[in-house]
Structure 1
Amino acid sequence: MLRWPSFIALYRNDAMPHTNTHIRDLDTLPVSTLFWRYAIPSIAGMLVTGLYAVIDGIFVGHYVGSHGLAAINLAYPLVMLQVGLGAMISMGAATRIAIQQGAGDMRAARGTLLAALALLALLSALLPALGLPNIDLLLSWLKADVQPQVAEQARGYLLLMLSGAGLTMGPMLLTYLVRNDGRPKLSTALMTLGALLNIGLDYLFVGVMGKGLAGAAIGTLLAEAVVLILALAYFFSPRATLRIKLGQLRPDWLGLWPILALGAPSLLMELNLALLLFAHNRQLLVWGDDLSVAAYAVAGYSESLFTLVIHGLAVGMQPLLGHAIGAGQPDRARAALLHGLKVGLGIGVAAWMAVQRFPAWIAGWYSDGSAELIEAGSRALRLHLLAMPLDGLVIVGATALQAMALTRLALGVTVGKTALLLPALALLPMAMGLDGVWLAMPMVNLLLGVAVSLLLWKQIGQLQGVARAESS
């Protein structure tokens, strides 16, 4: 077993590159080289972060079946609330600490770190205190009580996930802060360790011991507890720049509001996703049944793998594009944008072809062998993911607009997806039944894809025009 001091020692030289070298590379190296240098670690980090939910889905599908998949999908909006709160603290604290460190105020940065930990402790106590006494009301609100088997699995899962709310939020916060402390490799290693532990523990509790969704929750929480302990130990070690000492536990209480304000967009983004999941679940129960919800889980887990890759790609493109815009390099900005769009569309087309060609095989990842689940999951995959290339285009496009400081347009794309999807979910099933629920997302992605394409075409043309004017 790898001991904590050895684990830290592996990354003792894991420091951020010198600023001048970093900027020189952004100015001089080929855009294609820089693109993959940034995109590959970003994609890997996104995949590791998202593996927890996908791993749970695979084990639940194999060992519990369609009732388990339906239960976890119906209960998951509440887990997404916890994730959103964790993302709010993480992004808010990381942003504030980065600003304070940049200004050379290490004392203030340490105070913000301690304030974030105090806020984490408060929410870790508040969420179970509010949720556990009202578990039956929450299950009813989520429609997770539609069938006794579904209700039993969802109840066991939510009881544990609410009880361990701090273990859902804490690792996200600490790994963000470890990365901000100049240890990106250590942060990635901790997340990878958590994902690997989750696989082993899920197999033990769900596959071997047969504890169902409760077993999946236990495996997830134990894996996250290990990551939380190791990351927290790092900040008490001499390796940490923002080292925490027991005699200097002075949180910056006035920094709580800036943390919340800076992190609010991350919370809103996660709440938006939770709302869309909740809306889909509701309509699937109206026009279908719990098997339809299980089929949606199959499509949703598969979609999440694709979107994690595309998000990683977009996040990797962002610093290249943003730096080129800020440095007044329109030709390099145009090259970075075109490269990101081409790669994103290529991945989208490849993923779409795989889904359309092998839906039963993909659905089999999440199935206990049930022919009904594989058939329903295959139809959900083919219809719900019909516009995958355009979905990828929208994600990359929104990130590109944000990187070019076109914040209102980027926000309009994000908000527009929800604004269009909710009416589509309400209206399409009236004409098409259950298939209308599956086709709501592709139709919205088609409309947004066209709009984003026109916006980006305009930006590419403007960048090309500026580059020509500068060269003449």
Structure 2
Amino acid sequence: MTNVNTRDLDTLAVSKLFWRYAIPSVAGMLVTGLYAVIDGVFVGHYVGSHGLAAINLVYPMVMLQVGLGAMISMGVATRIAIRQGAGDMAGARGALLAALLLLALFGALIPLFGLSNIDALLGWLRADGQAEVREQAYPYLWWMLSGAVLTMGQMLVTYLVRNDGRPGLATVLTTLGALLNILLDYVLVGLVAMGLEGAAIGTLIAESVVLSLGLAYFFTRHAGLRLRLCALTPDWRALWPVIALGAPSLLMELNLAVLLYAHNYQLLQWGNDLSVAAYAVAGYTESLFVLVIHGLAVGMQPLLGHATGAGQPERVRAALLHGLKVCMAIGLAALAAVQAFPAAIAGWYSDGSAELIEAGSRALQLHLLAMPLDGLVVVGCTALQAMAMTRLALGITVSKTILLLPSLGLLPLLMGLDGVWLAMPLVNLLLGMLVMAIMWRELRRLLPAGQRMQAGA
């Protein structure tokens, strides 16, 4: 980040800085979400419910890659922001190079172990139960495992570019990738009729373009943390801090992967492939919401991290308060839209099947009942990470799985298939109340001593 941008983080009004970072970040995440959502739209229209079921059943493996990418990205973004806040530009540059080293390592290990065990993975994911589902699932998983470095890499470079004081450029990169993915989906899935294989290939090509352009930026004179071919020495001491700071992001995605698998398992137990396809409809819709909220949280991260490193509690509090207010407003608006127009939303992912629209509408209305609190948990955990309160963020993230797995097992015994849909809202209600209490405590702690005593009185 340039000195001008660093001075801005120290001096400009937090409300102005919040929107400067949050708007491009939310837009970028929303555009990024189109990678998966557009895949779902094209698959639903051109492949049908078997295609939606296939992509939903194998997606936990893709989420593992996303989790590793999120771990590296959030870890290095936080490390860089804190180092820059402390005035250590050399340490920030070394952390960036350490993150690229981690990317190369994981990008090699995933296909090495995944491709040699792909049949076992399909069986474990229960994607081989029906011939039509397996026919679509196998090539999709093969391509996504092969291109793991692209999935993680495009995520990393957009974080790094944003943290380098270029949120607008990060948005341009993600927008370019999403538009390219839409075009390739139309050609490969719609025109050439390659099914899920075409969707995977289109996604990886788009991600490769974003990764290439993002890396190229850091070798130009416009980059604050400029890299030079003659001096590419990572800070080995930053490897563990990057992993540790990003661990909650990895666990958050791993939780989502485990929960997706658990939902798929229970849906096949209490329903059928159509139920899994309906869950895909709800999942794609939820992913757009979560990505918007995650974009909001990521936009807050440079402000929170820098102010924490610079010892400015009043600016930390102001940024956190802005984020929480906007998060709840978005959550309430999204909930109202889902409850009012479920059939219209489900129709986006249907080839005209009335059964899929009916099942998808039911899933949307029940499964997404607690969207505002779901968003609060995401923003709260990311904020705690950015303020270097990693253990607390980690505990909240793990609690989601601890609570949801028994809920998924017990509620269907009482309510049948509806119990599967309602397990997540119940857990989000419990965790949302916990995060609300923690955020209230942190907001009070960040008050000046005099105001804190007055508030206590």
- TM-score, L = length of structure 2: 0.87
**Is residue 303 of structure 1 aligned with residue 290 of structure 2?**
no
For residues 29 and 47 of structure 2, the distance between their equivalents in structure 1, rounded to whole angstroms, comes to: 27
For residues 433 and 100 of structure 1, the distance between their equivalents in structure 2, rounded to whole angstroms, comes to: 52
1:12-40 deviation line (CA, Å, top 9, x unaligned) = xx9574434432223xx6x4x55544432
RMSD of Structure 2 on Structure 1 (CA) = 3.3
1:150-174 deviation line (CA, Å, top 9, x unaligned) = 1111101011111111111122222
Contact 2:248 2:390 in 1 (8 A): no
For residues 93 and 302 of structure 2, the distance between their equivalents in structure 1, rounded to whole angstroms, comes to: 27
Contact 1:15 1:183 in 2 (8 A): no
1:254-277 deviation line (CA, Å, top 9, x unaligned) = 654444344333222211111111
Q: Select the residue among 46, 55, 58 that pairs with 1:63.
A: 46
The verdict on how the C-alpha distance between 1:235 and 1:404 changes in structure 2, with shifts beyond 3 A counting, is closer
For residues 320 and 250 of structure 1, the distance between their equivalents in structure 2, rounded to whole angstroms, comes to: 28
The alignment partner of 2:12 has SS state of helix
**Paired residue for 1:210?**
193
> Counterpart amino acid of 1:146?
G
Superposition map of 1:355-394 within 5 A = 355-394=338-377
The alignment partner of 1:126 has SS state of helix
For residues 371 and 272 of structure 2, the distance between their equivalents in structure 1, rounded to whole angstroms, comes to: 25
**Paired residue for 2:12?**
25
**Paired residue for 1:43?**
26
For residues 299 and 203 of structure 2, the distance between their equivalents in structure 1, rounded to whole angstroms, comes to: 28
**Is residue 85 of structure 1 aligned with residue 72 of structure 2?**
no
For residues 58 and 436 of structure 2, the distance between their equivalents in structure 1, rounded to whole angstroms, comes to: 36
- Of 414-423 and 170-179, deviating more is 170-179
> Counterpart amino acid of 1:345?
M
- Of 285-294 and 455-464, deviating more is 455-464
- Alpha-carbon distance, 1:100 to partner: 5.6
Contact 2:21 2:167 in 1 (8 A): no
Q: Select the residue among 400, 421, 430 that pairs with 1:447.
A: 430
Larger radius of gyration: 1
For residues 389 and 242 of structure 1, the distance between their equivalents in structure 2, rounded to whole angstroms, comes to: 37
For residues 287 and 81 of structure 2, the distance between their equivalents in structure 1, rounded to whole angstroms, comes to: 29
Contact 1:16 1:183 in 2 (8 A): no
The verdict on how the C-alpha distance between 1:241 and 1:392 changes in structure 2, with shifts beyond 3 A counting, is closer
For residues 255 and 316 of structure 1, the distance between their equivalents in structure 2, rounded to whole angstroms, comes to: 23
The verdict on how the C-alpha distance between 1:353 and 1:71 changes in structure 2, with shifts beyond 3 A counting, is same
**Paired residue for 1:279?**
262
- Alpha-carbon distance, 1:146 to partner: 1.6
For residues 190 and 283 of structure 1, the distance between their equivalents in structure 2, rounded to whole angstroms, comes to: 38
**Paired residue for 1:313?**
296
Contact 2:296 2:323 in 1 (8 A): yes
The verdict on how the C-alpha distance between 1:344 and 1:165 changes in structure 2, with shifts beyond 3 A counting, is closer
The alignment partner of 1:88 has SS state of helix
- Of 67-76 and 101-110, deviating more is 101-110
For residues 86 and 134 of structure 1, the distance between their equivalents in structure 2, rounded to whole angstroms, comes to: 22
Contact 2:78 2:386 in 1 (8 A): no
For residues 113 and 46 of structure 1, the distance between their equivalents in structure 2, rounded to whole angstroms, comes to: 21
Q: Select the residue among 172, 178, 181 that pairs with 1:189.
A: 172
**Is residue 291 of structure 1 aligned with residue 274 of structure 2?**
yes
**Is residue 419 of structure 1 aligned with residue 402 of structure 2?**
yes
> Counterpart amino acid of 2:275?
S
Name structure 2 gaps, 5 residues minimum.
Answer: none
For residues 412 and 426 of structure 1, the distance between their equivalents in structure 2, rounded to whole angstroms, comes to: 22
Contact 2:48 2:350 in 1 (8 A): yes
- Alpha-carbon distance, 1:278 to partner: 1.0
- Alpha-carbon distance, 1:114 to partner: 4.2
Contact 1:16 1:182 in 2 (8 A): no
**Paired residue for 2:419?**
436
The alignment partner of 2:350 has SS state of coil
Superposition map of 1:134-213 within 5 A = 134-213=117-196
- Alpha-carbon distance, 1:214 to partner: 0.4
> Counterpart amino acid of 2:10?
I
1:397-432 deviation line (CA, Å, top 9, x unaligned) = 445666777666544433322221111001000111
- TM-score, L = length of structure 1: 0.84
Contact 1:359 1:381 in 2 (8 A): yes
- Of 410-419 and 163-172, deviating more is 410-419
> Counterpart amino acid of 1:24?
T
1:5-63 deviation line (CA, Å, top 9, x unaligned) = xxxxxxxxx9574434432223xx6x4x5554443223212212322111211111111
> Counterpart amino acid of 1:170?
G
The verdict on how the C-alpha distance between 1:172 and 1:408 changes in structure 2, with shifts beyond 3 A counting, is closer
**Is residue 467 of structure 1 aligned with residue 451 of structure 2?**
yes
The verdict on how the C-alpha distance between 1:21 and 1:400 changes in structure 2, with shifts beyond 3 A counting, is closer
For residues 211 and 18 of structure 2, the distance between their equivalents in structure 1, rounded to whole angstroms, comes to: 31
- Alpha-carbon distance, 1:131 to partner: 1.1
**Paired residue for 2:35?**
52
| Percent pairwise identity | 72
The alignment partner of 1:368 has SS state of coil
For residues 120 and 466 of structure 1, the distance between their equivalents in structure 2, rounded to whole angstroms, comes to: 47
